[in-house]
A and B are shown apart, each in its own frame.
Chain A
Amino acid sequence: DTAVSQTPKYLVTQMGNDKSIKCEQNLGHDTMYWYKQDSKKFLKIMFSYNNKELIINETVPNRFSPKSPDKAHLNLHINSLELGDSAVYFCASSSRGVPTEAFFGQGTRLTVV
């Protein structure tokens, strides 16, 4: 069983569209994250959720909105997609407490054309 799974793996869409990426973890973790990896491979935290509560929101455009229906899922909604949103988006999860390692999904490669 995949610990952290994301769908879709690839997403190609036009500018201005709205899209969602889904993430599910079966590790029983309390905290889930979204990271963005740009074309230079740089990884940056976007959001983290703990028990369905947003606990940190880095300075990302408000076109991005995380939604967590339960602690096993954290979906990422993106409105009005822009060319600069093209990147690989990784979902991750970790357990409560420190130190904690994050388990990552396989990533979703988003291409905006």
Chain B
Amino acid sequence: AQSVTQLGSHVSVSEGALVLLRCNYSSSVPPYLFWYVQYPNQGLQLLLKYTSAATLVKGINGFEAEFKKSETSFHLTKPSAHMSDAAEYFCAVSAPTGANNLFFGTGTRLTVIP
């Protein structure tokens, strides 16, 4: 079974500060991991994905995440927050077999303070 846990339902950062959103996974098989972003009243957009290749994954809008097997983590970071980054962020896991269903974390709302 696969699951993810996102620590912190709300994170606030100042504009220009480092963004760190935490995600830990649990999987009985090597997982595939994703970060999605949801802007208000919109669908989910893929930021980046880990596919068992490079452990440091770069995504859109300057975001990146590092897969750490020893810590079962896949934290999302961005060096400098922009106002436009304010949104809900979801970590998700899927198994490399079966229906490719995504199992989502509970989400982290990012607020950027000017």
Contact B107 A102 (CB under 8 A): no
Q: Which of B32, B43, B96, B107 contacts A42 (CB 8 A)?
A: B107
Query: Is A68 among interface residues, defined by CB-CB distance under 8 A?
Result: no
What 14 new A-B contacts, CB under 8 Å, besides A33-B101, A101-B46?
Answer: A31-B100, A41-B88, A42-B104, A43-B104, A44-B104, A50-B99, A98-B96, A100-B94, A100-B100, A101-B34, A102-B44, A102-B100, A105-B43, A107-B41
A58 to chain B, nearest CB (A): 8
Which A51-95 residues have a C-beta within 8 angstroms of B? 55-56, 90, 92, 94
Contact A45 B101 (CB under 8 A): yes
Q: Which of A40, A56, A104 contacts B99 (CB 8 A)?
A: A56
A contact face: mostly helix, strand, loop, or mixed: strand
Of the A-B pairs whose beta carbons lie under 8 Å apart in the complex, a sample of 13, sorted by A's number, is A41-B38, A41-B107, A42-B107, A43-B44, A43-B107, A44-B104, A48-B99, A56-B98, A99-B94, A100-B94, A102-B44, A102-B100, A107-B43
The 6 tightest CB contacts between A and B, nearest first, are: A104-B43, A43-B104, A99-B32, A99-B51, A104-B44, A56-B99
Given A98-B97, A99-B94, A99-B96, A4-B103 contact (CB < 8 Å): no
Q: Which of A35, A92, A102 lies at the interface centre, i.e. has the most chain B CB atoms within 10 A of its CB?
A: A102
Q: Given the complex, which residues of A lie within 8 Å of B103, measured CB to CB?
A: 45
* B positions within 8 Å CB-CB of A: 32, 34, 36, 38, 41-46, 49, 51-52, 88, 90, 94, 96-104, 106-107
Q: Given the complex, which residues of B lie within 8 Å of A100, measured CB to CB?
A: 94, 100
Contact B101 A48 (CB under 8 A): yes
A96 to chain B, nearest CB (A): 9
Query: Is A106 among interface residues, defined by CB-CB distance under 8 A?
Result: yes
B61 to chain A, nearest CB (A): 16
